[in-house]
Amino acid sequence: MRPDTTEKKPSVSADEGSVFATVRNLWAYMWPADRPDLRLRVILAIGALLLSKVATTLIPFAYKGIIDSLDGSAPDNTLVLGLAIPIVLVIAYALGNVVDAGFQQLRDVLFASVGQNAVRKLALQTFHHMHTLSLRFHLSRRTGGLSRVIERGTKGIEAVVRFAILNIAPTIVEFIVVAVVFVWLFGLSYLGVLVVMIWGYLYFTIKASNWRITIRRQMNESDTDANGKAIDSLLNYETVKYFANEQMEAERFDRSMAGYERSAIRIWTSLGFLNFGQAVIFYAGFLAISIMAIMGVMDGTLTLGDFVLLNTFLMQVYRPLNFIGFVYRELRQGLTDIEEMFKLLDQAPEITDKPDAKPLAVTGPTLRFEDVTFHYDADRPILKGVSFEVPAGKTVAIVGPTGAGKSTISRLLYRFYDVTGGRITIDGQDLRDVTQKSLRSTIGMVPQDTVLFNDTIGYNIEYGRPGASRAEVEEAARMAQVGNFISSLPKGYDTPVGERGLKLSGGEKQRVAIARTILKAPSILILDEATSALDTKTERDIQAALDVVSRNRTSVVIAHRLSTVVNADEILVLREGQIAERGNHAALLAQEGLYAQMWSRQREATEAEEALARTQEDPDGFVKRGAPAGE
């Protein structure tokens, strides 16, 4: 099954004209259907914000009253009353500001749970979705870059949710209230100048912000690339050291950071241009209205208090106006940050369960490949009509040259990919007709390259069956012949294994992987070249543990070293995606074909390796030149 490459319209976009449509698509995170308590918080937060806007609107009238009461026009016989009025108005002015600040802080407190729930919900959804995407997808992406996209996106969603709900609509309400006040107190001419100023301010803000989006995207791409290179280099720390390429890695990282630096400088430069342009437009309108007000005071149509009231309203308009410009910038920037993450969420999984898929029912299990064909790319077939059966409780080994398609078989069994022809069945059930969870719960894997979680040995073994008791974990370790080694460690099962298990040797990691599989107790076992990267002695020790795991289990052994498959019930020899030979070890040797040639070459190599080891050791078991054996 090929991924759908049809061009789809993204559900979240930072492009011009998509902002409000995008906010609608994000509504589920702002107004969660399953959380009535959070919906109530949103309502209360908006209520608190509207009350703060009421206080904000009334404050300038108190200020006007103070100025008018102190302009010196009051007669002497009203001195006491004249003194009381400004004091009361000053108190009202102070209280109004306190109420405004209090309701704004209450809004933030109420909305904190809503914003953080949105971040958590989206992060969890993205994390889960990443695990549903195909192996093909993950093989083509850098883990570091992917983590950066998710990190920026989860932060962006909180900004979008917060600004969209708590700022845009109430600010529009405030503009309407101020417009009504302007018409009521000062007339249409003042309103006309105010409207032209606000329109010019918003038009300039939107156009300049749209221009800055391209720069922001470039900065995000450079940031993602730099983080991907950093994580990739650190994960391959040993390889960097092997080749003394620290300087080369630093230069690669710096090239990406140089691109980020250039984009960041352009972002700040463009922000300066945007802020300056906004200030010019606002103060041009401020100048025009102030001149009109001065003329009104001079001809007696306005009082000095009216002039102060007008300027106070203008300052109060500037705050939400500047803030709505900031909101729009942050909204667009937040959308730019999350659009990449939503592209991931829009990515359809390549492998999905059918609507009527049922859990796998295991009775044997008997595994069967029926004329299976497969290709990663249509012009490069990997498997060409492969058919074989693994009876319940039996072991079938698959060997062959590199590139013959051996490991592809294990990936198809796990349904990381779907076959392009034929079918694979377990107890007669097509893998495409059962749920992926039940299928993968039935199969145990011991891979060639064992990667452990950066946690303790106990955690990594228990990963085979989460919730298993310590006694069960220890029994699995004993059966994998790693129990004594773990017990000898100062922290025992609580010993950290390090990033990807690098604190353990190859043999120790492999035994931990075997213990993990034993604890899982799968009905079907896949050993994918589980010992090919180990030395001969360690291989023999590991093989003994593998024999314990595979006993009485339906097993598929994918092997490079033929010495590990001599006891298999049947051996399949793959060549160029087809079964070239099949039979047990003795029968294949008798055929004197490809298997016999491979056996002969590997036996000669093994004998030469053992002979070399013998010549390096003296009778006392010490390597010549004074080094202890095995060092």
Summarize pLDDT for 174-204 with one digit per residue, the tens.
Answer: 777 777 777 777 778 888 888 888 888 888 8
Angle at 111 between CA 108 and CA 114, to 5 degrees: 150
- Looking at per-residue pLDDT, the higher value among 313 and 281 belongs to 281
CATH superfamily of 19-346: ABC transporter type 1, transmembrane domain (1.20.1560.10)
Tell me which H or E stretch contains 411.
helix 406-413
- pLDDT tier, 358 (very low <50, low <70, confident <90, very high otherwise): very high
How far is C-alpha 376 from the chain's CA centre?
Answer: 26
DSSP one-letter code for 458: H
Tokens coding 511: 């035994």
Could you write out the three-class secondary structure of 304-333? Answer: HHHHHHHHHHHHHHHHHHHHHHHHHHHHHH
pLDDT over 70 at 162, yes or no: no
Could you write out the three-class secondary structure of 336-350? Answer: HHHHHHHHHHHCCCC
pLDDT over 50 at 628, yes or no: no
pLDDT over 90 at 509, yes or no: no
How far is C-alpha 422 from the chain's CA centre?
Answer: 35
Q: Mean pLDDT, to the nearest integer, of 220-227?
A: 77
Q: How far apart are CA 605 and CA 609, in angstroms?
A: 6
Tokens coding 572: 């399949």
For the chain, give me the number of helices (H) and strands (E)? 20, 10
Q: How far apart are CA 192 and CA 187, in angstroms?
A: 9
Return the SS3 of 41.
helix
Tell me which H or E stretch contains 388.
strand 380-390
Q: Rounded mean pLDDT of the chain? A: 77
93-102: long-range contacts (C-beta < 8 A, 24 or more apart)? 93/59, 93/62, 93/63, 93/66, 96/55, 96/56, 96/58, 96/59, 96/62, 97/55, 97/59, 99/51, 99/52, 99/55, 100/52, 100/55, 100/56, 100/59, 101/52, 102/52
Angle at 444 between CA 606 and CA 429, to 5 degrees: 120
Q: Mean pLDDT, to the nearest integer, of 406-414?
A: 87
Tokens coding 200: 């010019």
Summarize pLDDT for 469-486 with one digit per residue, the tens.
Answer: 999 999 888 888 888 888
pLDDT confidence of residue 425 = 93
Q: How far apart are CA 152 and CA 337, in angstroms?
A: 6
Of the listed ranges 218-222, 228-232, 609-613, the least confidently predicted one is: 609-613
Q: Mean pLDDT, to the nearest integer, of 239-254?
A: 77
- Report which listed range, 60-64, 216-220, 300-304, 472-476, is most confident: 472-476
pLDDT over 80 at 452, yes or no: yes
Residue holding tokens 């595994």?
367
Distances (CA, A) of 573 to 370, 460, 568, 602: 17, 34, 13, 15
Q: How far apart are CA 92 and CA 523, in angstroms?
A: 78
Measuring CA to CA, which residue among 131, 1, 4 is closest to residue 412?
1
pLDDT confidence of residue 423 = 93
pLDDT over 80 at 365, yes or no: yes
Domain pair 19-346 / 367-455+522-626, same fold:
no
- pLDDT tier, 232 (very low <50, low <70, confident <90, very high otherwise): confident
Residues 399/573, Cβ–Cβ less than 8 Å: yes
Judged on CB neighbours under 10 Å (0-12, 13-18, 19+), 502 is middle
Summarize pLDDT for 76-100 with one digit per residue, the tens.
Answer: 444 455 567 777 877 877 887 788 7
Tokens coding 575: 């060549």
pLDDT over 90 at 371, yes or no: yes
Q: Mean pLDDT, to the nearest integer, of 232-254?
A: 75
Q: How far apart are CA 313 and CA 318, in angstroms?
A: 8
Q: Mean pLDDT, to the nearest integer, of 281-292?
A: 86
Of the listed ranges 8-12, 203-207, 307-311, the least confidently predicted one is: 8-12
Q: Mean pLDDT, to the nearest integer, of 512-517?
A: 86
Q: How far apart are CA 66 and CA 515, in angstroms?
A: 82
Return the SS3 of 31.
coil
- Looking at per-residue pLDDT, the higher value among 413 and 224 belongs to 413
Measuring CA to CA, which residue among 578, 525, 528, 572 is closest to residue 407?
528
Sheet with 367-377, side-by-side order of all strands: 380-390, 367-377, 421-426, 429-430
pTM over 0.95: no
Q: Mean pLDDT, to the nearest integer, of 609-622?
A: 57
pLDDT confidence of residue 622 = 41
Q: Mean pLDDT, to the nearest integer, of 520-540?
A: 74
pLDDT over 90 at 389, yes or no: yes
Distances (CA, A) of 137 to 8, 584, 604: 17, 38, 41
Q: What residues form DSSP beta bridges with 398?
A: 558, 572
pLDDT confidence of residue 334 = 67
Residue holding tokens 């209360």?
44
Q: How far apart are CA 365 and CA 362, in angstroms?
A: 6
Q: Where are the domains of the chain?
A: 19-346, 367-455+522-626
Angle at 64 between CA 58 and CA 70, to 5 degrees: 140
Of the listed ranges 398-402, 421-425, 560-564, the least confidently predicted one is: 560-564
Summarize pLDDT for 534-573 with one digit per residue, the tens.
Answer: 566 666 766 776 777 777 788 898 887 787 788 888 999 9
User: What contacts 149, CB < 8 A, 6 or more positions away?
Assistant: 224, 340, 341, 344
Q: What residues form DSSP beta bridges with 528?
A: 447, 558
- pLDDT tier, 393 (very low <50, low <70, confident <90, very high otherwise): confident
pLDDT confidence of residue 333 = 65
Q: Mean pLDDT, to the nearest integer, of 368-388?
A: 88
Q: Mean pLDDT, to the nearest integer, of 106-118?
A: 81
Q: How far apart are CA 498 and CA 431, in angstroms?
A: 36
- pLDDT tier, 18 (very low <50, low <70, confident <90, very high otherwise): low
Residue 571, number of CB atoms within 10 A of its CB: 23
- Looking at per-residue pLDDT, the higher value among 239 and 556 belongs to 556
Tokens coding 64: 């006007």
Fold topology of 367-455+522-626: Rossmann fold (3.40.50)
pLDDT confidence of residue 337 = 66
User: What contacts 362, CB < 8 A, 6 or more positions away?
Assistant: 426, 427, 442, 523
Judged on CB neighbours under 10 Å (0-12, 13-18, 19+), 574 is buried
pLDDT confidence of residue 48 = 83
Q: Mean pLDDT, to the nearest integer, of 167-172?
A: 67
Residues 293/313, Cβ–Cβ less than 8 Å: no
Q: Mean pLDDT, to the nearest integer, of 401-414?
A: 84
pLDDT confidence of residue 177 = 74
pLDDT confidence of residue 430 = 93
Residue holding tokens 């377990």?
426
- pLDDT tier, 370 (very low <50, low <70, confident <90, very high otherwise): very high
pLDDT over 60 at 223, yes or no: yes
Angle of the 304-346 helix axis to the 36-69 helix axis, nearest 10:
160
Tell me which H or E stretch contains 200.
helix 188-235
pLDDT confidence of residue 624 = 41
pLDDT over 90 at 517, yes or no: no
Tokens coding 220: 């995000």
Q: How far apart are CA 97 and CA 267, in angstroms?
A: 35
Q: Mean pLDDT, to the nearest integer, of 309-332?
A: 71
Q: How far apart are CA 301 and CA 295, in angstroms?
A: 9
Tell me the CB-side half-sphere exposure of residue 271, using CA atoms within 13 A: 13
pLDDT confidence of residue 2 = 42
pLDDT confidence of residue 372 = 93
